[in-house]
Amino acid sequence: MANRLSDKVIIVTGGASGIGAACAEVFAAEGASVSVCDINEQGGLATANRLGDRATFLKLDTSQESDWVNAVESTVAQFGAVHGVANVAGIAHTDDNVEACTPADWSRLLRVNLDGVFLGTKHGVLAMKQNGGGSIVNISSIYAVVADPFGEAVSYNASKGGVRLLSKSAALHCAREGYRIRVNTIHPGFIDTPMGTMTLKSDADPAAEKQATIDRHPIGRLGEPEEIALTALYLLSDESAFVTGTEMLVDGGYTAV
C-alpha cells in the first residue's frame, strides 16, 4: 500500500458491514485514522477492532443531527481533525412502487438515505473548513441515474437522486466559498453485499433473480464492496484534487446500455 491517505482522518458511516466496512478497511490500510460509525454497535465495533489503533467506533444514527455533532466532536478529540467523510449508510426495502409505498415507508427511507447524507455533508463541511479543506464522498446509486426497471424502488430512486444533486449543490457552495472542500458521489451498480442482494431473497426463485440481475450488468457479474471502497479512496486522496461536483458510475456497464 502507498499510504495515499497518510495523516488524514476519515469518518465512515455504515461501517458495520458491506461497502462501509470495506471503506474503513481500505482507508486504514492506506494510512488514515478512521471513525467507524454505525447504528449497529456490534458490527461497527467488530470493524473498528479489526483495524486496531487506526480506528475507533462511534454509534451514529445518521438521521439525528445530535449524533453527527457528537461524532465530529469525538473524532476531533481523538484524532485531532476531520479531513474526509464517506457517507455510506443507507437502507432499502422491497415492494416499493408508487402505489404500495406508504408515507411511513417513504419517510423512513428518505430520513436515512437523504437526510443522513445531508447531515453528514453539512457537519463534514463545518468541521473541514476549520482545517483548510478536505473531501466528502457520498454513496448514491445507479438508481439516481436510471429508475428501477420494474418501478419497484420509488422511494429509493427519490432518495438517491436527492443525494446526487445535494452533493453537486454542496460542491459548488464549498468551491465558491473557497473552502477547498470537494464533494463527489459514487453510483454503484448491484454490489454483492447483504443489502445489495436483499431483494433477491424475497423472490420465488432467488437464484434465477440473481442471474437476471447479473445479466443486466454487461461486465457479467455483481460488484464487490472493495471496488467501491477503492473508488472512494481516490476521491478522498489528494490525487483527485481537481475533482468536485461530479459522479462516478461504478456499475459494470449497467447504465451504458
Sequence-ordered list of residues with C-beta below 8 angstroms from that of 76, at least 6 positions apart, any chain: 82, 127
How far is the first Cα of the chain from the last one, in angstroms, to the nearest whole number? Answer: 35
143 given a catalytic annotation: no
Instruction: Choose the catalytic residue: 143, 156, 179, 254.
Output: 156
Going from the C-alpha of 75 to that of each of 8, 16, 79, 86, the distances in angstroms are 12, 17, 6, 14
Cell of 224: 464487490
Beta strands in 77-180 (DSSP E): 84-87, 134-139
Q: Which phi and psi angles does 233 have, rounded to 5°? A: -55, -45
The Cα-based distances of 95 to 153, 189, 201, 203 in angstroms read 7, 19, 13, 11
Tell me how far apart the alpha carbons of residues 4 and 226 are, in angstroms, rounded to a whole number.
16
Contact call for residues 35 and 20 (beta carbons, < 8 A):
no
Distance set, CA 80 to CA 13, 183, 186 (Å): 19, 22, 27
Q: Which residue has the cell 502507498?
A: 2
Catalogue the active-site residues: 156
